[in-house]
Structure 1
Amino acid sequence: MPAVLENDVLVYKGSNFFRQRLLLSTLSGRAIKIEEIRSTHDDPGLKEYEVNLIRLLDKVTNGTRVELSETGTSVYYQPGILIGGQVNHSCSTQRGIGYYLEILLALGPFCKEPLNAVLQGVTHSDLDVSVDKIKAAALPVLLKFILVDDGLELKVVRRGAPPLGGGEVVFKCPVRRHLRPLQWSKWGLVKRIRGVVYALRVSPTMANRVVEAAKGVMLNFIPDVYINTDQCRGPNAGKSPGFGVSLVAETTDKTFYCAEAKSVDAGQGDITLPEDLGRVCAQRLLDEIHRGGAVDSAFQWILALWMALGQKDVSECVVGPLSEYTITFLQHLKEFFGVMFKLDVVRDEEESDEEQGSLSQQVRMTCVGIGYVNISKRTL
């Protein structure tokens, strides 16, 4: 539902897009109230991982005010000032670390102090992007806006599979006074495939079988394929057994597409064959390449955010077909910042209408940045 404005507070209903609303509230400084959170469910109110997210936002800000109703079905959130700095946080094992890491990635450049966050929990989850995917496909997008990677780093210290987790990552992000405008309409051709297969508390042969299956698909298209294995042992293997794969396609214009797949969670009863896992991940990567665009489809929304907050100049980027999550995020950007994007379907004049319909349609996103300034970052 669209927001209702009451006494300069944006009021939403329902639990959908909870994370988007907290993120944009924190960046814009606008207070929000979210009502009727799962009010008709048998277990109403906020989930544990959503409360955990609020705690994380409280750690990276100063002066944030949160009010919860007794039933947890209503929350009032008045953001404080972004401070960043050293943050240690144990993430809820109901969601992957990626659920929280994406928020820190979006906030990092605008903190008062460079962000140095240590997150513990599940590194690979079916519900969220993995830390490998963020490292491979999201960090290069941020580099387009800040140009210099002085201190931008994501390190996987330990991996942790669901349901118990046990993983740990360290994320470091430099601060910027402002983000540069972006012109990004070409993404080139895929020149190489890289990947990593991890095996946690299972036989190392599992990883090798995944590698062979994935390579069997990708070598049909490109010869430069290399997949590393990360056979974790002891405390580095987390608390639950599992294995998975992350594949990355790099293009000639430094665009990175990523796909991933993992075994079913321990205790679910189903058995995942390593060969099936490798083939599924390779096919997902081919789908992502087919969608095209200058960024991986999972990170269209964060690209839109940085374009909207950039300097007061025109930013333009061509992406693959917009995801539903991105479409809703664009609506929220309008409500919080008043930014509107111009969206045009990119058509190839040499293709017929019938051929166009059979292809994955790219979208040109254009906006004028609001000139968002990190007032804590002084210029020399």
Structure 2
Amino acid sequence: MKENTSTPLTLDGSTGEGGGQILRTGLALSMATGRPLHITRIRAGRPKPGLMRQHLACVQAAVAVCGGQADGAELGSQTLQLTPGAVRAGDYRFQIATAGSCLLVLQTVLPALMLADGESRVQLSGGTHNPMAPPFDFLERAFAPLVRRLGVGLDLQLQRRGFYPAGGGEVLAHITPAALPLTPVNVLERGPLMNGWADALAPGLARNIPYRELETLGQRMGWTFEADQLRQPATRQNEGPGNALIATLEYAHITEVFCQLGERSLSAEQVAKRLVDEVRAYQRSSGALGPHLADQWMLPLALAVWRSGRAAGYTCTEVTQHTATNAQTIAQGLPVRVQITPAEGAMHVEISPAP
């Protein structure tokens, strides 16, 4: 490791957006660099601060992967100290008893397992389609292909969907570290649009709900059932009840995924309109990555820059407070510089080795 592992990584969890992302990024950086982590005021910007069940699951997963010790790992705790050990490849199973997002647990341990000395299989149980978290379809179609461009093998299998409040989803991740040092990649342009389609998931709900969502979306996007642009995937046994409407845009250099979850207070038509508004906002910009992918791609790319000593960057539609906070956290944890500047019709994120 090039990092000074004796220097603690000290984070203030109230910084910026003040949510769980600072904790997850801090845990990932501590495992990847070997630096002890000390974080205070965890989730101070949230109505219920401190560690909730899904955040505690991230801490417990980190401890398992690096054989570390954690002080303050209990529900409601606003202070945590992690002393990491060596990251160990292997077979892991992590479960969130509630419908909390199991995919956020995966994103916590993935950076370290990308750098491990062997392959890992991670079985995750919990929510797969949650508010305020990336759905499985986003990770599979948009995030994982970018990770593979670094030279890492990342195969994701959805075994069962889990919706709030029941949860019960099952995901299997197979992670193969790069044979050579991670290779940073630039993603500056989308390239031509190759394909676009929408999926409507509504297990356990009336069959007319997904049809109405797709019909409304199709009218606004110019997509049709006949062209296989409007799809109702089969559901697995005991999935749901739940509803997610997902739009996928495949470009030559990037795939973006947008998701709206159904709510009791929203009609099917309102869900579709919200999703179309999100897609249209992306299409109006020239940035390659949407706001969520811009945030979640930053850490894997920063690790590749650190390990290779080569700069790389990407353009995105906007820099949210979430993304800006993540950039600040990463710059504290790695010897890299994250520069965010306006570009024509977009924002440009450049990550370079620290001088």
TM range (shorter): 0.7 to 0.9
Go from structure 1 to structure 2 and tell me whether the alpha carbon gap of 1:14 and 1:105 turns closer, same or farther (over 3 Å shift). Answer: closer
1:363 aligned residue: 347
Q: Which amino acid aligns with 1:207?
A: P
- Residue 2 of structure 2 corresponds to residue 8 of structure 1: no
Pairing 1:156-171 to 2, within 5 Å after superposition = 156-171=158-173
- Residue 100 of structure 2 corresponds to residue 98 of structure 1: no
Q: Quick one: distance in 2 between partners of 1:170 and 1:41?
A: 30
Structure 1 contact 193–225 (Cα < 8 Å) conserved? no
Structure 1 contact 259–282 (Cα < 8 Å) conserved? no
Give the secondary-structure state (helix, strand or coil) at the position aligned to 1:99: helix
Pairing 1:1-380 to 2, within 5 Å after superposition = 8-14=7-13, 16=18, 17-37=22-42, 45-62=50-67, 64-68=68-72, 72-93=77-98, 95-146=100-151, 151-176=153-178, 177-219=180-222, 226-235=229-238, 237-238=239-240, 241-251=241-251, 253-264=252-263, 270-310=264-304, 311-347=308-344, 361-369=345-353
Structure 1 contact 210–275 (Cα < 8 Å) conserved? yes
User: Unmatched 5+ residue regions in structure 1?
Assistant: 1-6, 265-269, 348-360, 371-380
Q: Quick one: distance in 2 between partners of 1:36 and 1:321?
A: 27
Q: CA deviation at 1:188?
A: 1.9
Give the TM-score normalised by the residue count of structure 2. Answer: 0.85
Q: CA deviation at 1:12?
A: 3.0
2:3 aligned residue: none
Instruction: Report how many residues are paired.
Output: 337
Q: Which amino acid aligns with 1:309?
A: L
Q: CA deviation at 1:94?
A: 5.1
Larger Rg: 1
Identity among equivalent positions (%) equals 19
1:81-129: CA deviations, max 9, x gaps?
2223211111253532232232244333212222211111111111211
Q: Which amino acid aligns with 2:246?
A: S
Q: CA deviation at 1:219?
A: 0.6
Q: Quick one: distance in 2 between partners of 1:303 and 1:175?
A: 17
Q: Quick one: distance in 1 between partners of 2:232 and 2:120?
A: 30
Q: Quick one: distance in 2 between partners of 1:284 and 1:111?
A: 37
Q: Quick one: distance in 2 between partners of 1:362 and 1:42?
A: 32
Structure 1 contact 257–285 (Cα < 8 Å) conserved? no
Q: Quick one: distance in 1 between partners of 2:206 and 2:212?
A: 11
Q: CA deviation at 1:337?
A: 1.4
1:153-206: CA deviations, max 9, x gaps?
111111111111111111112111421132332212323212321122112232
1:54-81: CA deviations, max 9, x gaps?
111122222x111128873322111222
1:225-276: CA deviations, max 9, x gaps?
61321242533x14xx12111111112x231121111112xxxxx3432222
CA RMSD of aligned residues (A): 2.8
Q: Quick one: distance in 1 between partners of 2:199 and 2:223?
A: 19
Q: CA deviation at 1:224?
A: 6.3
Give the secondary-structure state (helix, strand or coil) at the position aligned to 1:277: helix
Q: Quick one: distance in 2 between partners of 1:365 and 1:42?
A: 31
Q: CA deviation at 1:215?
A: 1.2
Q: CA deviation at 1:365?
A: 2.5
Q: Which amino acid aligns with 1:296?
A: G
Q: Quick one: distance in 2 between partners of 1:209 and 1:250?
A: 24
Give the secondary-structure state (helix, strand or coil) at the position aligned to 1:366: strand
Q: Quick one: distance in 2 between partners of 1:40 and 1:141?
A: 31
Give the TM-score normalised by the residue count of structure 1. Answer: 0.80
